[in-house]
């Protein structure tokens, strides 16, 4: 047996968490980064700094505040209670919320850079060719910023795979629900089960390498997608 059942479960949860988080981040991050790229608001640096915070904060700090926010007395926890969803702390949903915040800069920053590199000119051209603002966004900005979307999705996914501190604080390490690979490895090492730790660590290593290799491979001969 290469990976025991608990290990496979942890791996599955990890991949699911990374996929869901990446999807949510692309949905939230696209309009946010578009706004950051296009806005001329003079206080824009404030939301920009906020987006970048998870880059510098220790994950435990982020996890601590999230734990409070997600708890029954916290604002997010209360919102969930009001909606009749139960407290998100120590649940998969809570992990997704934490991961979204933790990986936000890894998605927003590449998207913002690529929207910025599109510049205003192509959008002006589209405007003179009868395209409405929404039309311009989907038919000019998104296809031209496509490499940025790829980078953003991969960085968001890969960064969530490797998350440890935040999930430890808010996940509670519940097998089958919130126990991800990074924590499982830690547990195995604590219990001196080096063989199990090896298999899990090795799997994560290979997956991460493959994802990055594919992306760099694509980027090398990358051409903007054709509609």
Partner 1 sequence: MIKAGIKAIKGEFVVDADLEVPSIGITALIGPSGSGKTTILRTIAGLERHPGSCVSVGGSIWQDTNVFLPPHKRSMGFVFQEPSLFPHLTVRGNIAYGVKRLTSKECEMKVRRAAERLGLIDLLDRDPSTLSGGENQRVAIARALAVGPSLLLMDEPVSSLDAELKNEVLAYIDGLREELDIPIVYVSHSADEVARIADHLILLNNGRVTAHGPIRDVLTRLDLPLARGEDAEAIVEATVAGHDDEFGLSYLDFPGGRFTVPRGDMEDGQIVRLRVLARDVSLTLEEQKGTSILNIFEAVVEETADHGISQVTVRVSAKGVPLLARVTRKSASVLDLRPGRKVFAQAKSVAVLS
Region from 21-29, 35-43, 131-139, 158-166 binding partner 1, contact rule CB under 8 A: 131-139
Token output for 158? 């890969």
Q: Can you say how many angstroms the Cα of residue 71 is from the centroid of all Cα atoms in its chain?
A: 22
- 172 near partner 1, judged by CB under 8 A: no
131 binds partner 1 (CB under 8 A): yes
**Cβ atoms within 10 A of the Cβ of 64, count?**
15
CB of 156 to partner 1, least distance (A): 23
| 47 in contact with partner 1 (CB under 8 A) | no
Helix 45-56 / helix 92-118 crossing angle, nearest 10 deg: 130
Distance of alpha carbon 18 from the chain centroid: 7
Angle at Cα 79 formed by Cα 87 and Cα 153, nearest 5°? 80
- Candidates 42, 56, 130, 192; binder of partner 1 (CB under 8 A) is 130
CA 106-110-111 angle, 5° bins: 110
- 150 is a site residue for partner 1 (CB under 8 A): no
Query: Which one of 121, 190, 192, 195 is in contact with partner 1 (CB under 8 A)?
Result: 121
Distance CA 102, CA 18 (A): 12
| Of positions 34, 47, 143, 189, contacts partner 1 by CB under 8 A | 143
Interface with partner 1, residue 124, by CB under 8 A = yes
Which of 27, 31, 135, 222 binds partner 1 (CB under 8 A)? It is 135
Minimum distance, C-beta of residue 135 to partner 1, in the bound complex (Å):
7
From 6-14, 45-53, 117-125, 159-167, span contacting partner 1 (CB under 8 A): 117-125
Closest CA to 120 of 195, 20, 44, 40: 40
Q: How far is Cα 38 from Cα 126, in angstroms, rounded to an integer?
A: 16
Is residue 125 near partner 1 by the rule CB under 8 A?
yes
Which residues contact partner 1 (rule: CB under 8 A)?
121-122, 124-132, 135, 139-140, 143-144, 146, 224-227
């Amino acid at each position: 047996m290469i990976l025991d059942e608990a290990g496979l479960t942890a791996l599955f949860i990890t991949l699911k968490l990374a996929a869901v988080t990446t999807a949510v981040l692309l949905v939230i991050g696209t309009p946010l980064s578009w706004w950051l790229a296009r806005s001329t608001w003079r206080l824009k640096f404030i939301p920009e700094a906020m987006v970048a915070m998870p880059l510098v904060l220790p994950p435990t700090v982020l996890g601590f505040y999230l734990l409070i926010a997600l708890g029954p007395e916290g604002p997010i926890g209360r919102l969930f209670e009001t909606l009749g969803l139960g407290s998100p702390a120590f649940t998969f949903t809570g992990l997704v919320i934490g991961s979204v915040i933790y990986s936000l800069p890894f998605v927003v920053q590449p998207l913002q850079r690529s929207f910025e590199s599109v510049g205003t000119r192509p959008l002006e051209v589209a405007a003179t060719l009868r395209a409405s603002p929404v039309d311009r966004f989907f038919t000019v900005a998104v296809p031209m910023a496509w490499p940025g979307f790829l980078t953003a999705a991969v960085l968001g996914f890969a960064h969530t795979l490797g998350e440890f501190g935040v999930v430890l604080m808010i996940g509670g390490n519940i097998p089958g629900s919130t126990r991800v690979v990074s924590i499982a490895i830690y547990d195995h090492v604590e219990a001196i089960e080096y063989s199990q730790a090896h298999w899990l660590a090795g799997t994560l290593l290979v997956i991460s390498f493959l994802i990055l290799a594919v992306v760099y491979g694509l980027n090398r001969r990358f051409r903007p997608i054709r509609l």
